[in-house]
A and B are shown apart, each in its own frame.
Chain A
């Protein structure tokens, strides 16, 4: 048995008086594909944002790949991590956002090459060669010179995925990556995720409302509610035979809303 690549230990997080995460613990194994589902405000997006260091935790510990994320050792004691430690840890993690967050003033290929050139000192020709391979993988090679504003939502999201991949993270976080897309564009993004699954050995965490996709794609599903994991298990267990009342209630609402499970 290998060690978990992500180990979340009793973390809590509040926004003002609102407790988003309340003593949450979870583990993710290398190469595992995890779907995080649950009603909005349940904390599933917050956990991704915390793993990407976009939000800080109020308490608890997180280990990534055997190292503390928000703490570092000094004189045998754990102290809060400094910016350098965080930057080193971020190399292991990539994130794709619901609203793509592409850089609008840069062409598609420049969006993909920027970070490798700046953070890894990669020379432009090498960065561009790698970027073209990634754009090819997401089916966007022919748009390399285009500006983000010329692309459809699905195309933007595929570029955003290529951009995150360019840093070769071990863990990829997908935060509702199809939620902002027109229905007919969802498929092209999900196909890219399937391809990543087949061609890479990244660990993938995805927050999604696409229950059908979560069922087919994930090795394990976590159902979040009110800052806690209420139920977790294989997709079939969660979607076909949920044990907890709250999980059943949530899935019923989702099905009523017309989502396929």
Chain B
């Protein structure tokens, strides 16, 4: 029994690394999503082209290869990254590319009449975006952002391949040391699932809070 509790500690340490990666990766993904999503809607061709190139490239190549590139190839051109940095970079950029399209779609879903009200009230482009369009669009983005965050959580397992001691990595360690396959993998399966549930629940409650009053019922 004592033996298992030691291994459980190992797996919980792995869970912390997974959570850390998910949080930091999500922050980077969110930043990239807004930069690239708004870039796609820019009046300037260069910004649109840059954003489109980023989105297509990171959606069109595998996260696995992107991670290996960040960790093994970048040092060759003088950019040495720790496994954690490489992991956050690859995950953030990859999921950010998907989420950028969510940002673009949500902003475009806000009706023309809202833009026209902004013009009639003489709000500048940025003021209208910041105070009128984005707050409404964010509510549209939220559910899909939740999906993106769960995708990112699940994708974190690839970092075990660059020797970052996340959940999956630790499960393999436990398996190697105990010879038991079923217990460590069943355990991390449950932990991934619980983490994903937490994300769903968090996003849903945020959504409920932000939607308050919009439908005229809950205030």
Cβ of A147 and Cβ of B219 under 8 Å apart? yes
Bound-state Cα–Cα, A60 to B17, Å: 66
Chain A residues lying within 8 Å of B135, measured Cβ to Cβ, are 105
Chain A residues lying within 8 Å of B116, measured Cβ to Cβ, are 54, 97, 101
Chain B residues lying within 8 Å of A115, measured Cβ to Cβ, are 121-123
Nearest chain B CB to A39 CB, angstrom units: 23
Cβ of B117 and Cβ of A103 under 8 Å apart? yes
Tell me the residues in window 142-169 of chain B with beta carbons closer than 8 Å to chain A beta carbons.
none
Tell me the residues in window 97-121 of chain B with beta carbons closer than 8 Å to chain A beta carbons.
113-114, 116-117, 119-121
Bound-state Cα–Cα, A94 to B122, Å: 9
Q: Mark B131-143, 1 if CB is under 8 A from A, else 0.
A: 1100110010000
Cβ of B114 and Cβ of A103 under 8 Å apart? yes
Bound-state Cα–Cα, A218 to B122, Å: 27
Stretch at the interface among B20-28, B58-66, B73-81, B209-217: B209-217
**Interface SS, B side:** helix
Output the nearest chain B residue to A107 by Cβ-Cβ distance. B213
Output the nearest chain B residue to A99 by Cβ-Cβ distance. B113
Chain A residues lying within 8 Å of B214, measured Cβ to Cβ, are 104-105, 147, 149
Output the nearest chain B residue to A120 by Cβ-Cβ distance. B122
Tell me the residues in window 42-58 of chain A with beta carbons closer than 8 Å to chain B beta carbons.
52-54
Bound-state Cα–Cα, A147 to B216, Å: 7
Count of chain B residues with a beta carbon within 8 Å of a chain A beta carbon: 22
Chain B residues lying within 8 Å of A209, measured Cβ to Cβ, are none
Output the nearest chain A residue to B122 by Cβ-Cβ distance. A90
Chain A residues lying within 8 Å of B217, measured Cβ to Cβ, are 149
**Contact pick for A54, options B120, B122, B136, CB 8 Å:** B120
- The answer to whether the Cβ of A131 comes within 8 Å of any Cβ in the partner chain is no
Chain B residues lying within 8 Å of A164, measured Cβ to Cβ, are 120-121
**Contact pick for A119, options B122, B132, B139, B219, CB 8 Å:** B122
**Contact pick for A101, options B117, B122, B127, CB 8 Å:** B117
Cβ of B123 and Cβ of A118 under 8 Å apart? yes
Cβ of A114 and Cβ of B121 under 8 Å apart? yes
- The answer to whether the Cβ of B124 comes within 8 Å of any Cβ in the partner chain is yes
Cβ of A52 and Cβ of B213 under 8 Å apart? no
**Contact pick for A95, options B120, B132, B219, CB 8 Å:** B120
Q: Mark B190-219, 1 if CB is under 8 A from A, else 0.
A: 000000000000000000000001111101
Nearest chain A CB to B180 CB, angstrom units: 53
- The answer to whether the Cβ of A214 comes within 8 Å of any Cβ in the partner chain is no
Q: 4 tightest A-B contacts by CB?
A: A149-B216, A115-B121, A147-B213, A101-B117
What are 13 A-B pairs with beta-carbon distances under 8 A? Answer: A52-B119, A53-B119, A87-B122, A101-B116, A101-B117, A103-B114, A115-B121, A118-B123, A119-B121, A147-B219, A149-B213, A150-B219, A167-B121
Chain B residues packing against A (C-beta within 8 Å):
113-114, 116-117, 119-124, 127, 131-132, 135-136, 139, 213-217, 219
